[in-house]
A and B are shown apart, each in its own frame.
Chain A
């Protein structure tokens, strides 16, 4: 190996060291843990290797609940937030006056403190002995019965969780999409106008394909982000997510490690590997779909 090559590796060494210690080693370790049966964290011993951890996790009703919640969350929030963000960005780029103001307003959630957001949602949705929350007030005004969104039926809680997630992830998507829209050259629109292209067709045949790489990027990162959701649920429903039926896969992993029923790194690892497999599959499907519909 010549001198120059050696120097190159030397420069890469710090990054390699950090990645190795904090990323690659833990990843491999999780994989190894997930196959170690009867692991005891106090004595750091295990009784054998096999698939028992996976079988346990997959038969755990809490895990199945968490998977159901996560899939619902992903399935609802990713298309909804991306679609809404697209709608808002298109609207934003078609207005001139007050555009900057609206852009700032839409971006505010991104820079707002999570606790402040939690408080806002509390005021909106939480039922207390003194008040039913703002949303219930609205529902009552229109003659409906008030719903306990935080401690009530499953669908109400899921609605709040999805609403919260969409609201939190939208600003970033709007930011990305407005800049993507701005980068589409005006001449394409002029060309389409001269040919008498209806607005809807301009959007689907020109605008959308032109910004498709960015939309695709948002969908992929949106999927991954939603699969990793945990803190949002905690912010809304507290730490005992299993009790409120609102746990997510990452929440389950956390509970298995540190929660009240915790101390089972093997189960946690198995759950984490299952999550990894799901995300990998979805991302691969995304990539396959994108080959056909994304134009670089």
Chain B
């Protein structure tokens, strides 16, 4: 089932008596989710990603705009008629019911022609449980399960009525680091196996990048960029997206384009064309640095961190907008940890220019100099 969001807007009335200003949680959001894909809604806290999810599932009504499931306009349809399965951040498992009862709960609501017998319900519940590898825990209460198991019960409960769309709200945020890694693989596997169109919300960019077919980066209710994870990482449309994606984060410098060259401080680090002379914000991915004796960018060495496969060089530069610059380089390249300065040349495709006022990306072509 493909989902189409058309100019979706959600405004909340301002809180408190004094402030009459309303909060725009989702602002003019247009986006098509292709059938059977796993899509990650990504953004910092309060960016409206959970609101967007609640709009898709129908718990919230949009102030403006339309939502289509396939060809059907579901904008005014209540959640129970949309055929969505929703997994809540805190799972919302009914604490007084066993795992089996929790999973069959949605099925018991089916009426009329869809009504199922008890055996049929249990069979379907068992299938769902098998999918999330929960067999053998059916008689437990949620309080007797670990966080990861509870999470899987929640997913099974959402999947048991074969929804057209599966929605996950911060599905991994209550799990510890190891379990998170495991569970995200699990979510990916379940999604592949069922082929259900899935939207999940997260503030963890690594999580979103690793399992999504597509990611939507949001900020203050506005979708900043939509695309395949690698695409968005490689070609961020603005400074926010560039900063938000990637660990370690991108390094930011104040720079200047002058006479076909990009200057950071006094040093011309790159020759380029296709852009006018101006003040710019320069973003360089950590993997965009190559240590070279005669490299154009001179940094003050702070320390070298050895991580086995790679080494991470931490240094400072007077024009850096961040406290330190972190570059990831191959462990085989020699960097003298006791040196006072380190010089780099820059991979042009790992360097981005942004307007220093608006943060919009400035296109350029690198020239060999």
Where the two chains meet, the residues of A that have a C-beta atom closer than 8 Å to any C-beta of B are 185, 187-188, 190-198, 201, 205-206, 209-210, 212, 295
Contacts and interface: CB of A to CB of B under 8 A. Distances in A.
Contacts of A198: 109
Given A190-B59, A190-B88, A195 B161 contact: yes
Interface in B306-360: none
Contact of B86 (A188, A191, A205, A295): A191
A209 B96 contact: yes
Nearest to B84: A194
Contacts of B31: none
A194 B59 contact: yes
28 contacts: A185-B92, A187-B88, A187-B92, A188-B92, A188-B94, A190-B59, A190-B88, A190-B92, A191-B92, A192-B105, A193-B59, A194-B58, A194-B59, A194-B84, A194-B85, A195-B80, A195-B106, A195-B109, A196-B80, A196-B81, A196-B109, A198-B109, A205-B94, A206-B94, A209-B94, A209-B96, A212-B96, A295-B96
**Most A CB atoms within 10 A — which of B57, B81, B92, B106?**
B92
Nearest to A209: B96
A209 B94 CA distance: 10
A122 B81 CA distance: 55
A193 B95 contact: no
Interface string B53-80: 0000111000000000000000000111
Interface residues of B, number: 21
B200 to A, nearest CB: 15
Given A194-B86, A209-B94, A212-B96, 13 more contacts: A190-B59, A190-B86, A191-B88, A194-B57, A194-B58, A194-B79, A194-B84, A194-B85, A196-B79, A196-B80, A196-B109, A205-B105, A295-B96
A201 B79 CA distance: 17
A192 B86 CA distance: 10
A201 B81 CA distance: 17
A209 B108 CA distance: 17
A187 B90 CA distance: 8
**Most B CB atoms within 10 A — which of A194, A198, A206?**
A194
Contacts of A212: 96
Contacts of A188: 92, 94
Contacts of A201: 108-109
Contacts of B109: 195-198, 201
10 pairs of A and B residues whose beta carbons are closest in the complex: A196-B80, A295-B96, A195-B106, A187-B92, A191-B92, A209-B96, A194-B79, A194-B86, A196-B109, A197-B109
Interface string B17-45: 00000000000000000000000000000
B165 to A, nearest CB: 11
Interface string B81-110: 100111010101011100000000110110
Contacts of B88: 187, 190-191
Nearest to B110: A196
B80 A194 contact: yes
A195 B59 contact: no
B61 to A, nearest CB: 13
Interface string B216-236: 000000000000000000000
A196 B105 CA distance: 10
Contacts of A205: 94, 105
Contacts of B105: 192, 195, 197, 205
Contacts of B96: 209-210, 212, 295
B189 to A, nearest CB: 23
Nearest to B59: A190
A193 B59 CA distance: 8
Interface string B143-172: 000000000000000000100000000000
Contacts of A195: 80, 105-106, 109, 161
A210 to B, nearest CB: 7
Nearest to B54: A190
A284 to B, nearest CB: 23
B269 to A, nearest CB: 51
B173 to A, nearest CB: 14
A206 to B, nearest CB: 6
Nearest to A185: B92
A75 to B, nearest CB: 28
Contacts of A191: 86, 88, 92
B345 to A, nearest CB: 53
Contacts of B90: 185, 187
Contacts of A210: 95-96
A117 B84 CA distance: 54
Contacts of A194: 57-59, 79-80, 84-86
A191 to B, nearest CB: 4
Contacts of B84: 194
Nearest to B101: A205
A205 B106 CA distance: 12
B85 to A, nearest CB: 7
B17 to A, nearest CB: 16
Contacts of B85: 194
Given A198-B109, A201-B109, A193 B80 contact: yes
